[in-house]
Structure 1
């Protein structure tokens, strides 16, 4: 039995999501291999070889897979599946794009966003915004699985796997990469941050969001997040959104400021290790899952908290 894990990376560094998918693949059982498909991604392949529990790394290097578009990845992965029982893919934007095409070409059912592996045929995944857990059983000979990384611990880096090369598909393909605009920031990336400070609609304006949330995040060396209501109101950009229709996070510390705790938001952060909520409404749903709650006016409490951080 063998499992193929498709690495998440930017051609320069290996995303932590890959380590977590390796943990999920190990629970499936058998040998675990990592596919690093990209262009000029030699450093990524070397990093993948150090992930604990990995038998070997398959390095496919070429322009056609530089951005891991669905058509190119399907052409690469499907022929490889003759030697694997399952392919595990991070449930990221890139992973969610390629997985359905791979599953369709293999003529199997895709198992999406799993949070646990029971056995080689049985898995768990959240439904109803995370309020219920569905147990799914598949009899397909090949499994195509996307993994919610926040549900698994990251694999270590004590491995010494071998690295093999593979030919990339030549194309041409019907779709092609045109361009991208990347937001550059010195802050930790939201989905993988160890600390997150999020603001909600109660902040009232973008100016207040920036005045209160940003300094607190700076003090905590945290990523900045926001509720959908805050994003829709223009307080924060779309890539800050945490929740069912935003990013799923599970940091060591999550600070929710002025967020009432709508079910859609809770679905994106309730797996955080420690949740701190600041809200003047003591009946706010966020307090039901918070480890620490402060019922107070955020316009007074947040500056005071920010000022206290770092003092003895």
Structure 2
């Protein structure tokens, strides 16, 4: 067994794909997804910033979701691609800590932000007369700031701990980024108390918001079903179904990965599941929220001069 060398600051990331032509093909596909996610989320942020018609709580929250997704995918894919193409698998101690911090910050913050977006739609559809008061600009700002602060505090605590535990096994992390469960497998001490805290943290930042979102949208869809306006019913149902799709695609694999007991985990399965919430979801969010959204398509027409012929 390889003893952890305190004089070395490097970890080893084993990566997602083997160093073969097939691996290169899959990597190019991931890079394409990264490009689409970067362009899509950047465009969404720009549209919401410059178009006054999108200056509403729902779109302010959506712009923060796009910013989180942009930082989310940027914290993992560039390093993974560089390591594969260069043949180097090392990541410095500081680099691993920074990657873990940004990843965990986005993970926790996004879970809270998605819950805020669900609350916004719940008030807008179920209590429309109270919407201007319950979802004021200041309330929206507090939701956004709160998501970022709580996510950052939670991330900092986990990052500090994971970088200060003794590592006495191989320094090779069987993942494509510095993920906590994969790093805990290298520790030479019993981390059952910390694993319990990871369970609690995941429940607070992802599982409980996910359950709340499902319950909220269940109430919303019930209200939508009883709407008299067909146009209003269609718009509300489209928005809610899109949000539910994103939330499920993001939260379900994340929660499943982090809440499973250690003896039920496998590195290969964890890496596959991580692709969903770290790579695919940041690409899907701008697509789902734009192509089925008449207001966003209208903003694209006004700002970029495209999609003028598309209809919802």
Q: Which has the higher contact order (CA 8 A, sep 6+)?
A: 2
Global fold match (TM > 0.5):
no
TM-score by length of 2: 0.25
More strand by share: 1
